[in-house]
Each structure stands twice: as structure tokens, then as C-alpha cells.
Structure 1
Amino acid sequence: MSHQPDPRHDIDGDVYVTPRYLAASTGIGDPALAPLLDLGWDLQHDDLGNAYVNSPDRRVRLGYLPEGEDDGLWRINAYRDPFGPPTWGACFNDRTPTEVVRAFTTALATAYEQGPDVYLARPVSGMDEHDPFLAVVPLLQQGWEIDRPRWGVFAVHAPDGLAGMEFTTGELDPEAELTTRDARWQLWAGKSINRPAWYATASTDTPVALLTAVTQCVSDPAPLPRWRQDTYSYIKGMAQLTPILPPSPPAPTPLDVQRAVTSRRPAALPAASVPRWSTTSRPALPGPRR
């Protein structure tokens, strides 16, 4: 099955960005909020324009924070005890492709419908679908390469070196995982992890299914549509921008063919200009005299 977008459909953009992990944010949060709102989750706003979404049982909370204290635009936390500390947390900064965030919230919506045993499932090495390294498999299947950038860190990076995912081993500070980039998982795109175009983090106990949804989205070879004038300068220097072709004209119908044939026929002359025979004759004109 081809992954190429179909230009005949309505597309919000005039260029395709390849690779997709350099596409950056669309600047619109609605697509990523939709999977949760479709389940009836509660949506609230503050006076600054930030949005807060809560699950019906108050065990999962999402903040969309364009006016937050840092560049963490999306913050999602889950709780075993609604009044206790978060069990896991994920963060996407303000330049993360909106499709990546939507992949996470879509997987979260699916997990939530299956119950707390799924959306609070703790990763456990060697335990089939809960093995944390399953999240890396979609990247490896698309040619990403294993790396050991420094002690205590397992990583994979894209073939062009412009994106990577790191897994930090050992003990980590639970609070720092939720508030800084010092988290168990970090996904980034750009020239380096120290100068990322965008980044996303996930804490130690983030369910594997949610992480895998993100890596599947990031590694998908299909490009993403964007408006050329809205692309960041770093994209133009690293990504390939391909113009989106205008929609193809629809195939002609039999009626269209009939109309075309009719329009090519010569026009009939007016009835008054067509000579006709008459049953009456005018009197003969007198001939010349001899």
C-alpha cells in the first residue's frame, strides 16, 4: 500500500515536507485534542487562552499551554490516585509536529477506553507488549541506526542524523522527569539533541503503546503538508519541500462527451436563408424584341 498522500483530497498546505519529522507544528491544537474530546472529556480554558482537558475519572489530565511558563506546549499526566503525584507524564514542545501529538492522544484515547490496566500499564522489560524497547522497533524498521552517544544512554538516530530517540538507564528523579528534559525517553529532531528543532519527553512509566504510536508516526515515510510561508527557517535548510499539485480534473461523464461532440457540429443556417421551391411562379419577364 502506498503511503503517498492523494493530492485530489483537500490538503491544508501548499508543500509536502520530507522527512516528516522536520515538518514542525501546524500551530493548531484542535486535531490533537479531538481524540479525547470525542470521548466526552471535560474541556476548560483559563483567562490566558490555555486549555485543560480532564478524563471523566480525573485520572488523566492534558494541558495545552500556549501561554505556559516554558516551551512545553503539551503536557499530559496520568494518575493512579487523582490526588497523588503523576504515575507518568509526557511533554511535547511548541514546535512538535501536530500529527505526532495526535498520534499520542489517539493511542491514549484507545487505552483509556480499555481501562486503567492499559493506560496505567507500567513498562516491564521482557514482558511482551509491555517491553519498553518495542517502542523503538518502528524506527529500526525504517532504517534508524542504534547508537551509544554516552554512558548510560541507549539511542537510535535517523539515517540523515536529523532526528533521534534516547532511552536513559539507571535511576532518575521522578519530579525532574515531569518538569525538565531529563526524562527516561527523549525524542528530538534537528541538527542535534542540544539544538533540537523540536523535542518530546516521556517519563519512566509511560505505557509502551503510547510511545509506539509516536515512533510509528515519526518514522512513517509519508510527507506532511504545510504552508510554505509558515515553515520555520530551519526546515528550509534541512527538509525537502515539494509543491503540492493542483487537484486532477474529474473524468468526463458520457453526458460531457455528448455535449462536446454537439458543440463541434457546424451551426445550422437560419430558415430564411435556405432557398426553397415554390408552387407558384412569377410571371415570365418579356423577352427582348426582335
Structure 2
Amino acid sequence: MPHRTTVSEDVLVGPRYLAGTTGTDPIAPLLDAAPGWSRALVGPDPYYASSCQRLRAARRDGEWTFTYAYDPLGIPDWSAHFDRTTPDEVLAAFTERLIDGLDTYFADYLSGGPLHTGQTPASVFAEHGWEPARGTQPWRTLAPDEHAAFHIRTGYVDDPDELRRRGAATWKITAGPDPASRPTWAAHFTGHTPQPLMNAAALAVADPEPVARPAHRVPEGHRDLVGLRPTTHSARAAAALARGRISAATQPTPASPPPPSAAPTPSRTARTR
């Protein structure tokens, strides 16, 4: 029988990609504490720039967008966008990896680096039981419960089109009762987004550890799809939430063999960098 909750009760929710948000912003405190990052307000929303001025992060209407331009005055090389209902743990994992690796452009996480695991987002999901949905366009792989998906656009990808239109992004993670057609939340990554950043997000999505939420924060349409367990007191709930936020971003997992069904590689015909 499902656990009956009260509105104010803290619960542990799994899978985490259906847990909803905590109702607080997990990104701004991380960027406020990041050495060398500057903060300004654009209307009511925060706007951040890294010390090198190449990475910008901005919140608008509750949604976060990150852009990177090797030439700070030029067109961005890549962007990542997170819907306002993206779970906190996914946002935090991406942002922590970004802050940690930007100065060396994630060299420690690449081949030969001390934090390199050999993983890709597709292999992360495969290791957690996600399986390809055959015959789909764009190609996608589904979580075991089929309520989350990782999408890859294949074929020719136009760089400017990706940057202009969120739906044209090469990679996308979605979740909800129907993650392909009507996702509850989505994260979009254009083709040049560094793989270590996407790996961090993928690890946070796939992590099987439940996360803490006030019961009323679990989306109503998800309540029949998740497992809910009561927490004994708020301190335990806070500790579970903290563990969930850092587990994917700060604990690289050992390299694993390639998954049985390898994801197709998007053609980068138009990419010469």
C-alpha cells in the first residue's frame, strides 16, 4: 500500500527524476560561493559570469541557461538549459562539475586525467538499466520504468540552429509520465557541451538513491509513479537531500566496459573546431 503523507511531511522519493524540486534554487548559492564569479541582477533574476568571462549563467522565469564562448565577445560555442522543474540534484551536479573543472576546461575528467572514468552519458544510463527504444527518431534510451529518457539527435546538426532553438539541441534528458511527448521537465545540451558536464547530470539523474522532499513538492502527476518513504525527522531528510546533491557530482565511479547497445554518434559534419 502506498505511504499516505501529510502536506508538511518530509518524505524520501525515488526515482529521483520524478521527485520534483525542493522549491529553493540550488544553483545561485553555488555560484555565489564560487571563487572569481561575479553576480548582477537583470530585473529580478541573477546573472553570473566566470572570472575568465567565457561562461555565463542566467536564471529567467525560474529556468537556468549556461553559455560558453571561447571568445567572450563572440557567439557561444555551447549552451545548456534546464527547465524550472528540473530536480535540484541534477542542477547541483552539473553546476558543481562546472565550477570544479572550468579553469582547466575539464582536463582532469578527460582521457589521461586523474578523474577520467571512461563513461559517456549513454554508458551511464546503460549501467543503470536504461535500454534503447528501437526505431525512434531522434534516438533515445528509456529508464526501466519508461518515465525518463535520454535523447540524441543524429545526422547533420547546425551549430547556429542549436543555439537559437532549444528543441534543436543534440542531447536532451527528459522525465515525466510521458517523457517523449509531454515531459514534466527537460534539460537540453548543444553539441559542443563538454562531456564531463553531461556525465555529471546523467549520474545525478540515474542515481538510485532516493531524495528528500516535502510531500507537497512531489508533482501530483508523479505520485502514483514514485515510491515514498517517511523520514523520521527533518534532520535525516536534510542529510538525505545533501547526499543526493553531491553523490553524482563529486564521486566519480570506476570506468566500466561499453554498454551492450552503444548510442549512435551524431554527425559533426558542420563542426570543424
TMscore range, shorter length: 0.7 to 0.9
The aligned residue for residue 56 of structure 2 is: 61
Shift of 1:141: 1.1
Which one-letter code corresponds to 2:157 in the other structure?
Answer: L
The aligned residue for residue 232 of structure 2 is: 245
Task: State which of 137, 141, 154 in structure 1 corresponds to 2:123.
Answer: 137
Matched, 1:201 2:191: no
Shift of 1:172: 2.2
C-alpha distance in structure 2 between counterparts of 1:108 and 1:13, whole Å? 33
Q: Give the 3-state SS of the residue equivalent to 2:174 in structure 1.
A: strand
Matched, 1:160 2:150: no
Which stretches in structure 1 are left out of the alignment for 5+ residues? Answer: 1-11, 68-72, 124-128, 249-290
The two structures have a TM-score, normalised by structure 2, of 0.73
Alignment RMSD: 2.5
The aligned residue for residue 112 of structure 1 is: 102
Matched, 1:216 2:216: no
1:161-192 deviations in Å (ceiling 9; x for gaps):
00010111112232332332221001000122
C-alpha distance in structure 1 between counterparts of 2:133 and 2:19, whole Å? 24
Task: State which of 77, 84, 87 in structure 1 corresponds to 2:74.
Answer: 84
The aligned residue for residue 51 of structure 1 is: 46
Q: Is the 8 A contact 1:149 1:155 kept in 2?
A: no
Matched, 1:14 2:10: yes
Shift of 1:145: 0.9
C-alpha distance in structure 2 between counterparts of 1:149 and 1:75, whole Å? 31
The aligned residue for residue 174 of structure 2 is: 188
Q: Is the 8 A contact 1:186 1:201 kept in 2?
A: yes
Which one-letter code corresponds to 1:169 in the other structure?
Answer: T
Q: Give the 3-state SS of the residue equivalent to 1:89 in structure 2.
A: strand
C-alpha distance in structure 2 between counterparts of 1:247 and 1:105, whole Å? 26
Larger CA Rg, structure 1 vs 2:
1
Task: State which of 139, 144, 148 in structure 1 corresponds to 2:134.
Answer: 148
Task: State which of 24, 34, 39 in structure 1 corresponds to 2:35.
Answer: 39
Which one-letter code corresponds to 2:49 in the other structure?
Answer: N
Shift of 1:34: 3.3
Which stretches in structure 2 are left out of the alignment for 5+ residues? Answer: 1-7, 236-273
Over the matched positions of the two proteins, sequence identity in percent amounts to: 30
Shift of 1:13: 6.6
The count of corresponding residues between Structure 1 and Structure 2 is 220
1:208-262 deviations in Å (ceiling 9; x for gaps):
10000011111111011111123221121321222112379xxxxxxxxxxxxxx
C-alpha distance in structure 2 between counterparts of 1:46 and 1:13, whole Å? 36
Q: Give the 3-state SS of the residue equivalent to 1:196 in structure 2.
A: coil
C-alpha distance in structure 2 between counterparts of 1:165 and 1:212, whole Å? 12
